[in-house]
Amino acid sequence: MSSNEKRLAGEAALRYVEDGMIVGVGTGSTVAYFIDALADIKDRIQGVVSSSEQSTAQLARHGIPVLDLNATGPLALYVDGADECDPQRCLIKGGGAALTREKIVAEASAKFVCIIDSGKCVDVLGKFPLPIEVIPMARSLVGREVVKLGGQPVWRDGVVTDNGNWVIDVHGWRIADPVGLERQLNQIPGIVTVGLFARRRADVVLVGDRVL
C-alpha cells in the first residue's frame, strides 16, 4: 500500500515539471519513482541537479543529464521525499543520509514539491529520529549538546555521507517548534546540517496523488 502511494506521488509530481526546466531531484525510494517517471519526458527538460550519488546513478542509467548547481543558478522546482511531514509542511528528512545536499538544492529552488505516502503524515514531528549530519571530530560534542536539549543521540555507526561526514539520529524529541529548534541546532559548531526542513519547508505536499 505505501509503495503504491510512493509510486503515485512520484508520478503525480510530473505535473509540476514544465518544458525546458532544470529540475532539482531529491533522494530515496519515493524519488526513485519520480526519476523513473521523469525519464519518460527527459527530452522536454534541460536536465536535473541531483542531491546524492544514489540519485545521480539512477539518473545516469536513464540518460538524464545531471548538471552542476554552480552552473545552473536558481532552480524553478525541487522534488523530494520526506520521513515525516506536519500540517504546516515542515519536514524531517535525512533517513537516507542525503540531507545536506537536499537542503542546498531545496534552498536554491523556487518551489519545493514533497512527495510522500500517508504513513509520513504526523501532527507533531519527532517520532522519526531527527538526523543530524556532523563533522566526524564533533560527534561527541554535538551529542552532549543534544542531550542538554533533552534529545537522545544515536550515532548511525558505519554510515558516511556523500560529503564524508557522519550522522547522528536524535530520538525522544517532540518537535512543537520546528523553526526554533532548527535555528537553535544550527548554532552548534560541528553540525553541518539538521534534518529539519522548517525555515525552508515544502511548498506543496503530495500524499500519493493528492495535495495535502
Per-position DSSP letters for 132-199, written without gaps between them: EEE-GGGHHHHHHHHHHTT-EEEE-TT---TTS-EEEEEES--BS-HHHHHHHHTTSTTEEEESEE-T
Identify the bridge partners of residue 91 per DSSP, sorted by sequence position: 85, 197
CB count in 10 Å sphere of residue 66 = 14
Instruction: Indicate which residues carry an active-site annotation.
Output: 102
Cell matching residue 189 = 559548531
Shortest distance (Å) from residue 166 CB to ligand 5RP: 14
Interacting residues with ligand 5RP between 99 and 158 (CB under 6 A): 99, 102
Kindly list the distances between the CA atom of residue 105 and the CA atoms of 143, 197, 208, in Å, as whole numbers in the listed order: 27, 12, 23
One residue of 13, 22, 24, 30 binding ligand 5RP per CB under 6 A? 30
| Span 32-91, contacts to ligand 5RP by CB under 6 A | 80-83
Rounded to a whole number of angstroms, the minimum distance from the CB of residue 82 to ligand 5RP is 5
Residues in 2-21 at the binding interface with ligand 5RP, rule: CB under 6 A: none
Q: Which stretch binds ligand 5RP (CB under 6 A): 28-36, 56-64, 150-158, 160-168?
A: 28-36
Of 26, 129, 143, 208, the residue at the interface with ligand 5RP (CB under 6 A) is 26
User: How far is Cα 72 from Cα 46, in angstroms, rounded to an integer?
Assistant: 10
User: For residues 24 and 94, which CB has a smaller minimum distance to ligand 5RP in the complex?
Assistant: 94
Residue selected from 24, 95, 178, 190 as contacting ligand 5RP according to rule CB under 6 A: 95
CB 80 within 8 A of CB 26: yes
Cα 71 to Cα 16, 66, 67, 74, 202: the distances in Å are: 22, 11, 7, 9, 24
* Alpha carbon separation from 10 to 5, 130, 144, 197 (Å, rounded): 8, 24, 38, 20
* Residue 208 sits in the site that holds ligand 5RP (CB under 6 A): no
Give the position of cell 555507526.
157
According to CB under 6 A, which one of 34, 45, 79, 96 is a site residue for ligand 5RP? 96
Cβ 95 to ligand 5RP, closest distance in Å? 3
Select the residue interacting with ligand 5RP from 98, 170, 188, 205 (CB under 6 A).
98
Q: What are phi and psi of 175, to 5 degrees?
A: -95, 85
Q: Which of 14, 29, 127, 200 touches ligand 5RP by CB under 6 A?
A: 29
Instruction: Check residue 94 for interaction with ligand 5RP (CB under 6 A).
Output: yes
Q: Which residues bind ligand 5RP (CB under 6 A)?
A: 26-30, 80-83, 93-99, 102
